Structure 1
């Protein structure tokens, strides 16, 4: 019998599920206790489950020493994974589809966000002229990083509005305070970004929101359905070689999701580093309140949501439009199922 990569992945997931349910199996040592994780804009609420896992000590509870590298944008985190400088990434689910289309076996193992949480907004002084994405032509659009989910969402909105993805320059403004400063200094005209950056700019009267995917309704209005947002993704071969390590990483993130499901905004604000508040803790509390709905409840993306994302990418990218990707290859759900069962 020839053992294909797909068969091997199924086998490792099954064996992990069986082995980790045995008495004392949770005490199994990880194959790789020191893990390097990439992220693109760690202070953003999009990645809050990561900060929760770090600050609550969930990684250490699982016997892992996780070093977090913040690259300022999702596309840079992906490059780091492909290049081998990080082991795993908390990033947008859509990157798994894009990499499968390129023949690179990168897969998600736990869903962290079920709505993108991205807001497209125009500078207040341009709001009388810019009413929708159809008016973005020639405007400078600020995103976390070119190629990131914030950039792709802006380009998708333009295409849906009848423009080309290249009709407006995409400018990386990073996350946190740098993004706020570049909008305030009028270095960009439109911003496609996340909380707390968006809430800060809204509260200061700097922007007018045009598209808001922080809620289920806003997500469906743009994409026509639910869209998986942040996930933990990795090279399939990492999961093959390190099934216990992978399970422990997923366990830690599932603990974060369960904590967030019960947490109050005040709990979150007290947990995260003070600089995450952008100098305005009451505003941060409102941002958290607005975002709590967006975090995954199960850790697993639904087939319908994954298909919605795939269809969106087909609209955006002619090369992906030519593909016929088996979406089951983009997500190994067994780890999240095991972690969710608590066994």
Structure 2
């Protein structure tokens, strides 16, 4: 076969792309075996985690990562504070709330720049529940009480002039259990993410009240950007294990870079079939709809941190009087080093 200049150039470009997808391996991790907590791993909110796992990016960085999937983000946070996991992929808001409680944790890379959370109501109740304020006295399904889905509804209710404590929040998980809870009438409204929301929409089971799967929807609700999933750890772990943290961030950055150019079909071919919720085509559409939610840089912008803080202050009285240093909730040094 004749080798042409175009062939050589194409190979060079492919090699360059592969190089960009593979950050330099960090120095030997101080702790190579890592326990990671997540609340609802099959959710598209946490897709970068599954990509890092399935594509072998953790192993490339010298890490052996055991993933513990909990019912919601609040439970994975509890596991971190309790010491049963070393690192969490979870909502950025937890870094703010824990600082107020005197338990410092810090995010080291942003995975999602929009929350991707959707609030929907049971279709036959759409005439009664027209606003988040109408959720007072209603049963609202969230991934787990105290998780980002719960915070989202709290914020929307407070913003609408209602008391979030008047709603009954019920943990329904992040998969088929959440779908079944709505379909069986166990809840009257739901705050969840894709593919759960796309499944309920396809079944014509819900009417949408609020949607943060797009930049436009996020700005309409929060007035600006609002960081979503991040990777966070206790600050003392970060200080004691910088090489381990760098290796983790390298792997997650590699996953974000892969997602930036991957097609929905590439994603569907990579994740476990159980993620489809029994409908591959629906999952494919959900992936396509969620593509813009993922972080493009891995770095949380200052206005995003402020937006999250402002949201929490709307309904969390503890934060109304607390002095929060947002600069301590996220460090970009590992993302910058990952390149």
Same fold (TM over 0.5): yes
Residue-by-residue CA offset, 1:265-300 (whole Å, 9 max, x unaligned): 111111101010001011001100110100000001
Q: CA deviation at 1:26?
A: 3.2
1:179 aligns with 2:178: yes
2: CA distance between counterparts of 1:316 and 1:253? 32
Residue-by-residue CA offset, 1:167-187 (whole Å, 9 max, x unaligned): 110000011111011111010
Q: Which residue does the alignment assign to 1:107?
A: 106
Q: Which residue does the alignment assign to 1:275?
A: 274
Q: Which residue does the alignment assign to 2:166?
A: 167
Deviates more, 1:318-327 or 1:280-289: 318-327
1:219 aligns with 2:201: no
1:36 aligns with 2:20: no
Q: Which residue does the alignment assign to 1:304?
A: 303
Q: Does the aligned pair in 1 maintain the 2:36–2:66 contact within 8 Å?
A: yes
Residue-by-residue CA offset, 1:105-133 (whole Å, 9 max, x unaligned): 10000000000000000001111211111
1:189-228 aligned within 5 A:
189-228=188-227
Q: Which residue does the alignment assign to 1:10?
A: none
Q: CA deviation at 1:324?
A: 2.2
1:242 aligns with 2:241: yes
1: CA distance between counterparts of 2:185 and 2:154? 20
Q: Which residue does the alignment assign to 2:293?
A: 294
2: CA distance between counterparts of 1:41 and 1:178? 11
Q: Which residue does the alignment assign to 1:230?
A: 229
Q: Does the aligned pair in 1 maintain the 2:107–2:331 contact within 8 Å?
A: yes
CA RMSD of aligned residues (A): 1.1
1:1-343 aligned within 5 A:
26=25, 28-339=27-338, 341=339
2: CA distance between counterparts of 1:253 and 1:286? 24
2: CA distance between counterparts of 1:274 and 1:297? 26
2: CA distance between counterparts of 1:309 and 1:165? 17
2: CA distance between counterparts of 1:268 and 1:156? 32
Secondary structure of the equivalent of 1:228?
Answer: coil
Q: Does the aligned pair in 1 maintain the 2:26–2:247 contact within 8 Å?
A: no
Secondary structure of the equivalent of 2:165?
Answer: coil
List runs of 5+ in structure 1 lacking aligned partners: 1-24
Secondary structure of the equivalent of 2:36?
Answer: strand
2: CA distance between counterparts of 1:183 and 1:259? 34
1: CA distance between counterparts of 2:100 and 2:47? 29
Instruction: Check 1:285–1:323 CA distance in 2 against 1; reply closer, same or farther (3 A cut).
Output: same
Secondary structure of the equivalent of 1:166?
Answer: helix
2: CA distance between counterparts of 1:204 and 1:48? 23
Instruction: Check 1:287–1:241 CA distance in 2 against 1; reply closer, same or farther (3 A cut).
Output: same
The count of aligned residue pairs is 317
Residue-by-residue CA offset, 1:148-183 (whole Å, 9 max, x unaligned): 000110111011111001111000001111101111
1: CA distance between counterparts of 2:26 and 2:40? 32
Residue-by-residue CA offset, 1:230-285 (whole Å, 9 max, x unaligned): 00000011111110000000000000000000011111111101010001011001
1: CA distance between counterparts of 2:269 and 2:177? 23
2: CA distance between counterparts of 1:253 and 1:44? 16
List runs of 5+ in structure 2 lacking aligned partners: 1-23
Q: Does the aligned pair in 1 maintain the 2:25–2:250 contact within 8 Å?
A: no
Q: Which residue does the alignment assign to 2:13?
A: none
